[in-house]
Each structure stands twice: as structure tokens, then as C-alpha cells.
Amino acid sequence: MNRTSGKFTVTGGSEQTIREAPGEVKLTRVGGTQRFGGGMVGEGSVEWVFCYRPDGSARFVGVQRVEGSIDGRPGSVVMESIGDHDGRQSKGRWRVIAGSGTGELAGISGEGFFDAPGGPEASYELAYQFD
């Protein structure tokens, strides 16, 4: 199993309310773009659905795509993303979607995590292997 890590910077984003009603959780759709550095180099895009609880914390699920390279191997990969937001910071996990790798990333599998302590910069780690 190979391991890579680094940081990414959020370069853009938007949030749209899907459903909000008294006595219910709030659902939103969040889209974002990132610039990756470290072991993963390139551009990322993500689409999440957030479920906000009454205390302002949230659970999110989504799909993250990174195009560039992982440890010097060019291509793209798509990962499912799930995590929690406490109102200030987010922590989440990634899992590579089977069959999503392109170029020299074809056949990649793996999982990892990211930690976004607030602000535009976050750290990540990814453990991966190839078929």
C-alpha cells in the first residue's frame, strides 16, 4: 500500500438550500473547487449534500474528482466523500470509486481522509494501490 499526503486550497464554492422547514434538518447542496499540492498535484472539484442539524453541525456525503497526478502518475480519479462539519471545521474520509481512475491512475483503489480546520487550506492523506 502506498501513502501520499499534502494540502489543498479551496479556490471556489457555492451552497444552495435544497430543503428547509421548521422542525426539520436543513439540506443543502455544496459545490467546490480545490488546488492540490503534495503527493496529489492538480485541480479538484466536489459536490456534496449537507444535512444540518439544529445545533449548526452537519453530516455530508458527496463525490470528489481530482485531475492531475498522484505521486507523479498523471490522470484523474473520483472518490466518494463522507464527513462531519462542527460549524467551524470539517473532517472527512475518502474512498476511491472502483473503475474511476484514468491515464496512469487506471486501476487505482484506496482510501484516506482530509482535515479542514477552517479557512481555505486543508490537509489530506491517501493510502492507495493498483490492481
What is the DSSP secondary-structure string of 52-100?
E-TTS-EEEEEEEEEEEEETTEEEEEEEEEEEEE-SS-EEEEEEEPTT-
Share of the chain above pLDDT 90, in %: 97
Predicted model pTM: 0.92
Residue segments in the chain with a per-residue pLDDT below the cut of 70 = none
* Identity at 55, one-letter amino acid code: D
CB 84 within 8 A of CB 91: yes
